[in-house]
Chain A
Amino acid sequence: MTPARFCLALLATTLLFAQPSFAEPARDAILGQLAAEAKQANPAFAGFSAERGQQFWQAVHTGGRAETPSCTSCHTKDPTAEGRSRAGKAIAPMAVSRTPERFTDAAKVAKWFERNCNTVLGRACSAVEKGDIITYLSAQ
C-alpha cells in the first residue's frame, strides 16, 4: 500500500465512523422505518422535512378534541420549553437538544403518536407526518 493510498483509506474510514455528535442509531432506525412506510404508501416520497414538521406542529387542527387543537396546546410553541399536560403535569421539552432520549424508544414513539394524533386530529398520523415531526424536533 503506497502512503497516498494509506491516507485515502484512513480518510474513508474516518468519514465512515465519524458521525455528527447528535446522531443516534435508535432514532435513525425509527426514521428509517417511517421512511420505508412512507415510500410504500407513496413511491414518490422524497424524504422528511423539518419545515413541514414545524408547520404541522404549530398548526391548529380540527377533528380532534376541542381542548387540544394543536401539538402546542400541551407542548407549547417552543419545543425547547417544558410543556404541561391538561392534568397539570410537566412534560419534558420535546426538542432533542433538551431531552436527548426523545424518539429513541420505538414502542414509546408509537404509543404517543397513536394517542396524541387521535386526541388532536381525531385520526392516525401518516408516516410522513410522524417523520416530519421527528425530523423537526431532532433539529431543535
Chain B
Amino acid sequence: MIAGYVVAGLLLFRAVWAFFGAPYSRVASFAFPPRQVIAHFASLLRRRPAHYTGHNPSGAAMILAVFAVLCLLVLTGFLVQGGVEKQGPLAAFTTYAFGMTVRGIHKLVALLLLGMIAGHLAGVAAGSLLFKERLVGAMIDGRKPGAHPASSAAPGRPLAGFGLFALLGVILATALLLLSRLPPLGMPAIPADRAMLTECGSCHRPFHPSLLPRAAWARLMADLGDHFGEDASLAPAVRDEIARYLELYAAESWDSKAAHRFSVLAAGDPTRITATPAWQRIHRGVDPALFRSHAVGSRSNCAACHADADGGRFDPQAIALPEGTQP
C-alpha cells in the first residue's frame, strides 16, 4: 500500500517531467505519427531498425503503456483499499462489494505490469544485443553515440518542473489526506451499551455487534443457558436489552470487511464467529499454541492481537502479536 503512494508520487513527477524535462523526456519526443510507427516496425522485421537518439516508437509505446497501467494500478488500489479495508481517500465512497470486484482487476493489472516489465527488459536486451544500441549506458550517463544536440527543441526547465511537481504534490497529498478523514461508508458511529459491556465483558471481551448477522445474535441470546458450554443466564430484562442492542447494530447495518466476511456462518455452529469459514481461512497460518498462550488464552480473544477489534475494524496494520508470544 505504501508502494502505491510512492508510485502515485512517481507518476505525478513523470507527468510533470513530460512537459518540463529534457527534450528526450518530453512528450513530444515519444508521440510518433502513425506512419513513423509503421515504418519502425517494418524496419524491425527487416532487422535493420532506424536509429533514434531518444526512444524509438516501440520504446515510446512501452512508456505510454507502463504509465497507463501504473495509473490503473494506483486507481484500483485506492478502490480496493477504500471498499474492502475502509481506509484511504475513497473509503467514504466505495462499497465493500465494489472493492472486492475491483480487487480482482487490481491483481490482474499487477500481473500485466510484471509481464510488461519482462517485455521491457527483453526490449532493452534486444536493442542492445541485436541492434547494438547503447541503451543501458545512456540511461546512466545520458550519452548516446551519434546523438546530436536537438537544436530545434528547447532545453528542459528543471526548476519549473520541480516547482510544479512540489506544488501539485502538496495539493494532491492534502486532498488525499482530507478525503481519508471522511467517515468511511457503512461504518457508523454507534453508542456503547453498558449492560452489554458489563455482562458479556464479565467472561470475555465483548464482541462488536457487526461480527454476526441479526438472526445469529437472536439465536445466541435466546440460549444463554448453554452459551458455548457455559451457563450465562441473565435476568430477562437485561437479556432483552442486550439482544436489542446487538440486533440493532448487527452485521446487516455495516459495510465493513469483518461484517461481510463473518456473515457467512458455519453450518454446524452458526453462532460461533471463530468457526466461520472466513475466520478459519484468515487464521489458517496462526500457530494454535498462540491461542493457548497466557497472553491470548482463547480464540475468542480478538483484541489480544487486533488492537482495533472493539470497534469492529480489524485493520491489517492494527495486528500485533502480544509480547512474548512471537516465534
Residues of A within 8 A of B (CB): 65, 67-68, 84-89, 111, 114-116, 118-119
Contacts and interface: CB of A to CB of B under 8 A. Distances in A.
Interface residues of B, number: 19
Nearest to B238: A111
B195 to A, nearest CB: 13
Contact of B297 (A65, A87, A114, A118): A87
Interface string B14-55: 000000000000000000000000000000000000000000
By secondary structure, the B interface counts as loop
B208 to A, nearest CB: 15
A59 B4 CA distance: 61
Contact of B230 (A88, A114, A115): A115
A87 B298 contact: yes
Contact of B205 (A84, A89, A119): A89
6 contacts: A67-B229, A86-B298, A88-B301, A115-B230, A119-B229, A119-B231
A65 B230 contact: yes
A86 B296 contact: no
Interface of B: 201-205, 225, 229-235, 296-298, 300-301, 304
A118 B225 CA distance: 9
A89 B297 CA distance: 8
A88 B229 contact: no
Contact of A87 (B204, B225, B233, B234): B204
A124 to B, nearest CB: 11
A88 B325 CA distance: 15
A74 to B, nearest CB: 9
A118 B204 CA distance: 19
A65 B204 contact: no
Given A89-B205, A115-B232, 20 more contacts: A65-B229, A65-B230, A67-B229, A68-B229, A84-B297, A85-B203, A85-B204, A86-B230, A87-B203, A87-B297, A87-B300, A88-B296, A89-B204, A89-B301, A111-B234, A115-B230, A115-B231, A118-B225, A118-B233, A119-B230
